[in-house]
Structure 1
Amino acid sequence: MSDFSPGQRWISDGEAELGLGTVLNCDARSVTILFSASQETRTYNTRQAPLTRVMFGSGDRVLSADGWQMIVDDSKETRGLITYIGEDSEGNLRELPEAKLADTMQFDQARDRLLTGQVDRNDWFDLRFRTLHHYQRIEQHSALGFAGPRIDLIPHQLYIADEVAGRHAPRVLLADEVGLGKTIEAGLILHRLLLAGRVERALILVPDSLTHQWLVELLRRFSLNVTLLDEHQSQAHGSTNPFESAQLVLASQGWLFANIHRQDQALASRFDLLIVDEAHHLDWSPESSGPGYQCVEQLASEIPGLLLLTATPEQMGLESHFARLRLL
């Protein structure tokens, strides 16, 4: 550790966000540093202080406390204090004592930390390297997205989720019978795609009576923080698009299907995956199609991924069933 002198500028290795510190006083055992930018004062043991002396070299751009900048050409040291010499932005030759350096200067970029001598111990680097190595192994594991959820998997759920989530932009109809876990399958697929980085934003449309059930299940079982959007929440966003306020949006079908303006906003929000529960309610016939079908048809034409969930795909007739298959 270098000798400390009042007026010198130092930076904290562990708290670079504090900015440049100024030595207030020091003795053989301790040194007191004032970080004016954050209004913090720290006292360190002189032998073990996690501090690095701030020293600039030729070609570095420095900022003064008065707001003007200078390119350093040379420097001189007097009684332990450095004065920088160089040209300001107008080409004038000026001198800048280190005590007049801006307090807000930070060194959080790798190059800046290297040039100012802010280097970590090798064991810290080794720890980061091993952590990243293990994280990479986890990301490449075949069970990514399936091991974390709080569920008791049934074999067919795992098979379906793995098969569908393995596709780049899955567009499928999940038509298991009642009680066989279509919601779990959809949650697994969504969870896997999010962790794999193939989906960043998803829109989930469910019947009005199931909105809170989906909200709770996704949070409790998959730790997914989903935003429940309704007209009250939408109006709170004013003129901005409410569908762009979150990455994962849950909305009731009754609300969205009846509101053309909100449908247009959803279309403009660039979702990666659309999930529609109780999809058999999307009514279609050669003569006319219901508002729900029309809404989902428009969304499905813009959103790459689509999951339709229904336990009774033929409830509204074969024509409606094949019309829903056409959405895929």
Structure 2
Amino acid sequence: MKHSRHQAAQSDPRAFAPGQRWISETQPEFGLGLVVSSDYSQVKVLYPATGETLIYSSRNAPLRRVVFEPGDTVKNHEGEPFVVAKVTIEDKRITYLDVQGNELPESQLYDRLSVQKPEARILSGHVDDPNLWRLRQQALQNRHMARAHEARGLVGGRISLIPHQLFIANEVASRIAPRVLLADEVGLGKTIESSLILHRLHNSGRAKRILILVPDALVNQWFVELYRRFSLKFAIFDEPRALSIEYPESSDEENEVPTAERAEPPANPFFDDQLILAPLSWMAENPKRAAQAAEGAWDLVIVDEAHHLEWTPEAASPAYQAVAAIAEKTPGLLLLTATPEQLGREGHFARLRLLDPDRFSDLDEFIAESDHYREVSELADRLRSGEKLGKAEETLLGK
């Protein structure tokens, strides 16, 4: 909202008239004042925003006339925006008009409008103590340093970090839109690593909307760990909660959709919160919710125990299809899985396909590349040991 320019009107007894709006130069926090009455000796001003009524001497009242100009955006008494296109004055009272010709008398201006433009305060000699300015400057500098610190989001959690966890979290969170497979044995810290990553991305403003999909048995565990260790309060979503958001007036314990026809379709429940935790089975069993989640405009999605997502070249499980649809429209994706050796090459390919479907589009081609990489790795080991390679092997390395 643009602020008005103050008219440099002196406290002339003839300048006051009931219905005018003035602002106190000594108490601007009172908002816009409304002249109730005036005579040659005094003026009575009501400040509706605070309920205060003050009486000033008409000759030296610390008041300044409030006049908005064409192009300024103000609010009416109901708080609705009003763009000034024209200003008229009649009987010392101002009326504002917009481009449609709608009128807004100054007496109907929003009572809490701020009209303290910096240049107006300087010209009137009303400035703050320099120490306050220096304090604000120092606070802003400290905030900038904290936000720009390379450890932001990686420290502050109630955890004892292991070096490899800190390294992985920093490496992944440093990427613009991380799409990563965190594969490790059970109990080696994948949950902590992924939590550190989302904590850093969330604190830096790069991941405001986050969805975490986990097995049913781990929903409460994830919720408690995120809240206790990182002070992140995720909303747990399930079908009853989604229905309560879609149909807030319904209190049916059976979670049945009201039979009355609705004028508009229900809103996407996933837009009701920014940080959401949900069981993956719910998505797999409910195509409607999976489709709504795919339209959730997430910045980051985390899938725990992603090795349970079943996929073959011929078909994919409902859970895999739900995650694939969400992953396709989400810039950041973390898959927490078992090691590739446990998954098998087909299972490993299925996970990589979620991360980058363009790069990993053909299973046979992936297997052929994997075999070639294994041969190259063996030759590299022989070279490091000082063994001489044959011509055929040198040719293989040149491919």
Shorter-chain TM-score above 0.5 = yes
**Aligned partner (choices 129, 136, 141) of residue 133 of structure 1:** 141
- Please tell me the root mean square deviation across aligned C-alpha atoms, in Å: 4.0
Amino acid at match of 2:47: F
* Aligned: 1:162 with 2:170: yes
Partner Cα separation in structure 2 for residue 307 and residue 87 of structure 1? 55
CA shift digits 1:13-62 (9 cap, x unpaired): 7774x53135789xxxxx996422x3523789x9xxxx864443887979
1:108 equivalent to 2:135? Answer no
Is residue 32–residue 41 contact of structure 1 (8 Å, CA) maintained in 2? no
In structure 2, C-alpha distance between the alignment counterparts of 1:276 and 1:258, rounded to whole Å: 16
Q: Distance in 2 between matches of 1:233 and 1:87?
A: 47
Which residue matches 2:198? 190
From 67, 71, 95, the equivalent of 1:56 is 67
Q: Alpha carbons of 1:19 and 1:301: their partners in 2 closer, same or farther (altered >3 Å)? A: same
Counterpart-to-counterpart distance in 2, 1:186 and 1:128: 36
Q: Which amino acid aligns with 1:41?
A: E
Residue 32 of structure 2 corresponds to residue 20 of structure 1: yes
Given that 1:58 and 1:74 are in contact with CA atoms closer than 8 Å, whether structure 2 keeps it comes out as: no
Give the structure 2 partner of residue 251 of structure 1: 278
CA contact (8 A) 1:21 1:103 kept: no
Instruction: Determine the C-alpha separation between the residues in 2 that align with 1:19 and 1:39.
Output: 8
Distance 1:15 1:185 in 2: 51
The DSSP-based 3-state class of the residue aligned with 1:306 is: strand
Q: Which amino acid aligns with 1:254?
A: S
Q: Please identify, of 118-127 and 266-275, the stretch whose mean Cα deviation from structure 2 is larger.
A: 118-127
Residues 281, 316 of structure 1: 8 Å contact kept: no
**Compared with structure 1, are the counterparts of its residues 15 and 288 closer, same or farther at alpha carbon in structure 2 (3 Å cutoff)?**
farther
Q: How does 1:213-232 map to 2 (within 5 A)?
A: 213-232=221-240
Cα pair distance change 1:248/1:63, threshold 3 Å: closer
- In the alignment, structure 1 residue 202 sits paired with structure 2 residue 210: yes
CA contact (8 A) 2:195 2:226 kept: yes
Q: What's the offset of the Cα at 1:4? A: 12
Q: Give the drift of 1:286.
A: 3.1
Matching residue of 1:241:
268
Check 1:263–1:64 CA distance in 2 against 1; reply closer, same or farther (3 A cut).
Answer: closer
Shift of 1:303: 0.8
Alignment of 1:1-328 (within 5 A): 9-11=22-24, 16=29, 19-22=31-34, 34-36=46-48, 38=49, 40-41=51-52, 53-56=64-67, 83=92, 101-102=107-108, 104-108=110-114, 111=117, 114-115=119-120, 119-238=127-246, 239-328=266-355
Letter in 2 for 1:10: I
TM-score (norm: length of structure 2): 0.64
Secondary structure, counterpart of 1:284 in structure 2:
coil
Rounded to whole Å, the distance in 2 between the matches of 1:227 and 1:208 is: 15
CA contact under 8 A between 2:31 and 2:114: conserved in structure 1?
no
Percentage of identical aligned residues: 44
Who is 2:364 aligned against? none
Give me the whole-angstrom Cα distance separating, in 2, the residues matched to 1:87 and 1:229. 49
Q: Is the 8 A contact 1:230 1:252 kept in 2?
A: yes
Instruction: Number of aligned residue pairs: give it.
Output: 301
C-alpha distance after superposition, 1:36-93 (max 9, x if no partner): 2x3523789x9xxxx864443887979998x9x89568899xxxxxx45788679xxx
TM-score normalised according to structure 1 size: 0.76
Deviations 1:142-167 (A, max 9, x none): 10111222211111110000000011
**Unaligned ranges ≥5, structure 2:** 1-9, 38-42, 100-104, 247-265, 356-399
Gaps of 5+ in 1: 26-30, 77-82, 91-95
CA distance in 1, matches of 2:76, 2:336: 63
Change (3 A) 1:85 1:274: closer
SS for the counterpart of 2:154 is coil
The 8 Å contact of residues 70 and 85 in structure 2, kept in 1 or not, is answered as: no
Distance 1:142 1:4, change over 3 A: farther
CA distance in 2 between counterparts of 1:247 and 1:168 reads: 20
Task: Decide whether the 8 Å contact of 1:9 with 1:54 is kept in 2.
Answer: yes
Counterpart AA for 2:120? L
Cα deviation, 1:280-306, whole Å, max 9, x if unaligned, reads 111122343222112111211111111
Q: Which SS does the other structure have where 1:257 is aligned?
A: helix
